[in-house]
């Protein structure tokens, strides 16, 4: 029960993390230390940020809201638009991403 309660708390804090990330993009020097401490404390409790840049697209971990078509090939995450998170191994929120076709020789 305690794990479920902490998961609900982490989920409730996602809008706060989103706001902090948005503020960081505009004011990295001022917001960076706050965001670092906040994420560090949440990571100690089980939060994991999904690192999906240039990874094969996985619909279990991300919602694709845009796609850059190419000549085919593997679909990869081209840009993370909103971070996704896991809580103690369970996907708490999928990332919001833009995908693109990648040919084998690209990477």
Digits of tens for pLDDT over the chain (107 positions)? 777 888 888 899 999 999 999 999 999 999 999 999 999 999 998 999 999 999 999 999 999 999 988 877 899 999 999 999 999 889 999 999 999 998 655 55
What confidence score (pLDDT) does residue 5 get?
Answer: 83
Domain boundaries, the chain: 2-106
Q: What was the pLDDT predicted at 102? A: 83
Could you report the per-residue pLDDT of 35-54, keeping only the tens digit for each?
Answer: 999 999 999 989 999 999 99
Give the count of beta carbons closer than 10 Å to the beta carbon of residue 41: 10
For CA atoms 76, 22, 37, 60, the dihedral sign is negative
Q: Which pLDDT does position 64 carry in this prediction?
A: 96
**pLDDT attached to residue 1:** 79
For residues 81 and 106, what is the distance between their CA atoms, to the nearest angstrom?
22
Third-level CATH fold of 2-106: Nucleotide Exchange Factor Grpe; Chain A, domain 2 (2.30.22)
């Amino acid at each position: 029960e305690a794990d479920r309660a902490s998961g609900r708390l982490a989920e409730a804090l996602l809008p706060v993390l989103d706001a902090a990330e948005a503020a960081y993009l505009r004011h990295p020097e001022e917001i960076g230390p706050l965001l670092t401490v906040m994420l560090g404390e949440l990571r100690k409790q089980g939060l994991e940020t999904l690192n999906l840049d240039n990874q094969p697209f996985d619909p279990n971990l991300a919602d694709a809201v845009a796609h850059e078509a190419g000549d085919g090939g593997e679909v990869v995450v081209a840009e993370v638009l909103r971070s996704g998170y896991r809580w103690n191994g369970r996907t708490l929120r999928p990332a919001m991403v833009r995908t693109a076709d990648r040919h084998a020789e690209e990477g």
